[in-house]
Amino acid sequence: MAAAANGGDSKGFEVPKLEIKFTKLFINGRFVDAVSGKTFETRDPRTGEVIAKIAEGDKADIDLAVKAAREAFDHGPWPRMSGFARGRILHKFADLVEQHVEELAALDTVDAGKLFAMGKLVDVPGGANLLRYYAGAADKVHGETLKMSRPCHGYTLKEPVGVVGHIVPWNYPTTMFFFKASPALAAGCTMVVKPAEQTPLSALFYAHLAKLAGIPDGVLNVVPGFGPTAGAAISSHMDIDKVSFTGSTEVGRLVMEAAAKSNLKPVSLELGGKSPVIVFDDADLDTAVNLVHMASYTNKGEICVAGSRIYVQEGIYDAFVKKATEMAKKSVVGDPFNPQVHQGPQIDKEQYEKILKYIDIGKREGATLVTGGKPCGDNGYYIEPTIFTDVKEEMSIAQEEIFGPVMALMKFKTVEEAIQKANSTRYGLAAGIVTKNIDIANTVSRSIRAGAIWINCYLGFDPDAPFGGYKMSGFGKDMGMDALEKYLHTKAVVTPLYNTPWL
- For 156-198, the pLDDT digits (tens) are 999 999 999 999 999 999 999 999 999 999 999 999 999 999 9
Strand order in the sheet with 242-246: 30-32, 25-27, 220-222, 190-194, 163-167, 242-246, 267-270, 474-475
Q: What is the fold of 274-461?
A: Aldehyde Dehydrogenase; Chain A, domain 2 (3.40.309)
Q: Using a pLDDT cut of 70, give the percent of the chain over it.
A: 98
- pLDDT, mean over the chain: 96
What are the residue numbers of the active site? 270
Residue 503 pLDDT class (50, 70, 90 cuts)? confident
473: left (phi over 0), alpha (psi -120 to 50) or beta: alpha
CB 148 within 8 A of CB 494: yes
Q: Provide the pLDDT for residue 2.
A: 58
- Evaluate whether the domain defined by 23-270+473-488 bears CATH number 3.40.50.2300: no
Q: What is the mean pLDDT of residues 338-347?
A: 98
What are the CA-CA distances from residue 363 to residues 264, 293, 359, 383, 396 (Å)?
A: 45, 21, 6, 16, 11
Strand order in the sheet with 307-313: 368-371, 386-389, 406-412, 307-313, 275-279, 430-434, 452-455
Residue 377 pLDDT class (50, 70, 90 cuts)? confident
Q: What is the mean pLDDT of residues 455-469?
A: 98
Residue 6: pLDDT over 50: no
Q: Where are the domains of the chain?
A: 23-270+473-488, 274-461
Distance (Å, whole) CA 158 – CA 151: 23
